[in-house]
Amino acid sequence: MIKYLLLGCIYLLPFLSFCQKAETLNNRVLYTKYNVADFFHDSSKWAWEFDVVYRRQSELGENNLWAHPLRYSVRPWIAYQFTKLTRVSFNPIGIFHSAPRFPLESDLDRPFERELRTTLQINNYSNYNRFNFTHRLRFESRWRGIDNPDGIKHNFRVRYRIRLRTPLNTNYFYKNNTLYISNYHEAHIEFGRDYGTNHLSQNRNFVGLGYRFWDWTRIELGYLYQINTRTNNTQVDISQGAMFYIFLDLLSRNQRKYKHSF
């Protein structure tokens, strides 16, 4: 477990060093995510997934998390469970509608952006006593500004997330009526012909409290601290606020074959 915690700290160091040199811009956010997934049938290793993300934000550093929209996205997935510990998922097309972040008055005139995104995702799980680790690697192909009169901009992004979930009232994360602590760290690296020079573009850090009920349904509520570098490389957006998850984790019901889910 210690080596994974050290790994999380190591990949945070470049962001912390950069933030010390750059001007930080603050805004408050409210993130919500709704996810449902299930196998096609009890004997299948193939599964489907579907998620909806909805985010709101404050304006000019105020504290009203619900003041303005920030992001709306819809993604369908097809997945294959290679082993109890490894699942590969593919989203052929996801639809994203994003607002600029609003920490500066000049941001208020920036346009919204519509984006299409294709994503390949690998999840791998590890259990150490009561601790449940998830390693998630995503590779994204992004078509940004699809209705921009100047043309579409395309780039790639690689994302790595390490997540730890620690049961508090049971000794196993996948037991019903489990109360648990959830925390994760995720780094984003972007590149491509139409992308700038801020390749280490984003870092997300989350800590929260979750509860599993009905065997296959979980909710989480916690706090997000997110760092985004701007294209000028002299400013960073610090987005922080509440995050709420709902997981309709029907994959967990197939306990005869798989005891690992999202």
Over residues 174-195, the pLDDT tens digits come to 888 999 999 999 999 999 988 8
Conformational region of residue 236, where left means phi above 0, alpha means psi within -120 to 50, and beta covers everything else? beta
Higher confidence at residue 262 or residue 198?
198
Average pLDDT, the chain: 88
What's the whole-number mean pLDDT along residues 92-116? 94
pLDDT for 199 equals 84
- Measured in whole angstroms, how far is the alpha carbon of residue 155 from the centre of its chain? 18
Is the pLDDT confidence value at 249 over 80?
A: no
Is the pLDDT confidence value at 10 over 80?
A: no
Rg of the chain's alpha carbons, rounded to an integer? 19
pTM: 0.88
Tokens of 17: 């060093």
pLDDT for 124 equals 93
Q: What sign for the dihedral angle of Cα 154, 160, 164, 165?
A: positive
- The pairing of strands 200-213 and 86-98 is unpaired
Closest CA to 86 of 32, 45, 130, 122: 122
Q: Please name the CATH architecture into which domain 2-253 falls.
A: Beta Barrel (2.40)
What's the whole-number mean pLDDT along residues 77-99? 94
**What is the percent of the chain with per-residue pLDDT over 70, rounded to a whole number?**
86
Position 216 confidence tier, pLDDT thresholds 50, 70, 90: confident
Over residues 11-37, the pLDDT tens digits come to 555 555 555 567 889 999 999 999 999
pLDDT for 3 equals 53
Query: What residue segments make up the domains of the chain, in order of their start?
Result: 2-253
Over residues 129-167, the pLDDT tens digits come to 999 999 999 999 999 999 988 889 999 999 999 999 999
